[in-house]
Amino acid sequence: MAIAAKILGDQVGSSAPVFLAFLAVHIVAGLTAVITGAIAGLTRKGGRRHVRSGRLFYRAITVVFVTATALAIMRWREDYHLFIIGAVAFAAATIGYQHRIRRRAGDTGHIVGMGVGYVAMLTAFYVDNGPHLPLWDRLPPLTFWFLPTAIGMPIITRAVLAARKHSSRAASSARASADGAARASND
């Protein structure tokens, strides 16, 4: 138990072995989700790296939600709000993931779902850990609740607009090709 406190600091919610086991899995899954989510967001959409990273992100955020649920149950009074944020993150990511899996038209549902899931996950991290991080500990508490959204939403909006522009260009090009083919066959 003393080793966990030395590694994780005094902010660990409990020194119970079951809690620490869930916390260890939660931390690994959280780091995996942060890294794979960033890779998916920064790589070419539809490419192999994007798809692979997106799938890993979804799996990792699922584990984050399951472990967050267990951790919150063990310390409900202190952590119920983290369960709520985790549920939002998981629900949003699930909507985004299902949007792509079911091959629904357009990218908006996918981008917004996965993006909101990522932002909510970061919000939970900062709400829980921000007051204990160097430099972050000087920020007002509301910052931890709103900064990830203030940064993430413009990025998500930009990605949606870029996807719509790309989709519109592709549709125009397809129409032009079809019109050209129709004229050629009429000649």
Q: What is the spatial distance between Cα 30 and Cα 48, in angstroms, rounded to a whole number?
A: 22
pLDDT value of residue 167: 75
C-alpha 127/C-alpha 25 separation (Å) is 19
pLDDT value for 171? 62
- Tell me how crowded residue 136 is: count the other CB atoms within 10 A of its CB: 14
CA dist 122 and 90 (Å) reads: 12
Residues of the chain with pLDDT under 70: 1-11, 13, 105, 169-187
Cα-based angle 117, 118, 123 (whole degrees, multiple of 5): 95
Under a CB-based contact definition with an 8 Å cutoff, are residues 39 and 49 in contact? yes
**pLDDT confidence of residue 53:** 96
What residue type is assigned to position 169 of the chain? R
Residues in CB range of 80: below 8 A, 6 or more apart: 72
**pLDDT tens track for 158-184:** 999 988 887 776 666 656 565 555 565
Question: According to the model, what pLDDT value does residue 99 have?
Answer: 93
Amino acid at 134: P
Domain coordinates of the chain in residue numbers? 2-169
